[in-house]
Structure 1
Amino acid sequence: MSNMAAVTDAEFESQVLKSEKPVLVDFWAEWCGPCRQVSPILDELSGEHGDKITFLKMNVDENPVTPSSYRVTGIPTINVYQGGEVVKSIVGARPKAAILKELDDFLA
């Protein structure tokens, strides 16, 4: 379904919080229609901007600990982490142009 690598609760700290570059995490679930709309957009962005920002996805049904600790209550939620902190949060499906605008600071 996606070219983006998956991250689990167990890997979250090492792959996301300790990353040298910004990391975008797409919190999603199989049954979520809007998540399926956003997924190909994020795949595309990952191909275009993967050198500047790491793109990962986390299935909230399989990994409940991390979404809960970051108060992810609605999906899709796209969080950008930098230096171990959430620096941007996008909730809900958005078109590519809107997501790109939100990510401007990290892609410049």
Structure 2
Amino acid sequence: MMLSTRTAVPCSGRTAFGAVRPVCRPARASTVTRVANVTEASFDDEVLKASAGQPVLVDFWASWCGPCKLVAPLMDWAEKEYGGKLKVVKIEHDANPKLIAQYKVYGLPTLIVFKEGQELANSKREGAITKALLEQYLTKNGITK
């Protein structure tokens, strides 16, 4: 049996024969986030009670959901961009079935805005979203920078 002698090589530069290697691209989307994860146990404090002071944007997501991975960086951006005027939290779909049922989350990702301890009427939005559409969504729900 012959073992391979291949080793890892850098993504850019030149090969031993002078050919140019392609430049690596950064990872597309990540599930790493600075936004707080909320559970059924912490939902009342982190969302309902917190929304009395400022609006709370809840992102219902799942680790297996491709569009959720695309939206994750936008949740970080919103938390930073609207700092002090908006709290952003994430609720993992598979770990919180009671909240999923209570708020009738049928598609992922789903965004819902909470104000004064209640779901804001007509604030539920399902599916991936761009930064521009997220800004429009927040403005429509009374949240400005």
TM-score, normalisation: structure 2: 0.72
Matching residue within 94, 98, 102 for 2:133: 98
Quick one: distance in 2 between partners of 1:32 and 1:23?
A: 22
- Structure 1 counterpart of 2:8: none
Structure (1 or 2) with the larger CA radius of gyration = 2
Decide which structure has greater helix share.
1
Could you list the runs of 5+ residues in structure 1 that have no partner in the other structure? none
- Structure 1 counterpart of 2:80: 47
Quick one: distance in 2 between partners of 1:5 and 1:50?
A: 14
Percent identical among aligned pairs is 40
The within-5 A match list for 1:71-90 is 71-87=104-120, 88-90=123-125
Query: How many residues of Structure 1 are paired with residues of Structure 2 in the alignment?
Result: 108
Instruction: Tell whether 2:59 aligns with 1:26.
Output: yes
Runs of 4+ in 1 over 6 A off after TM superposition: none
Matching residue within 43, 63, 66 for 1:12: 43
Give the number of the structure with larger relative contact order, counting CA–CA contacts within 8 Å between residues 6 or more apart.
1
Measure how far apart 1:98 and its partner are.
0.3
- C-alpha RMSD of matched pairs (Å): 1.0
Quick one: distance in 1 between partners of 2:108 and 2:67?
A: 8
- Structure 2 counterpart of 1:61: 94
State the secondary structure of the residue aligned to 2:114.
Answer: strand
Decide which structure has greater strand share.
1
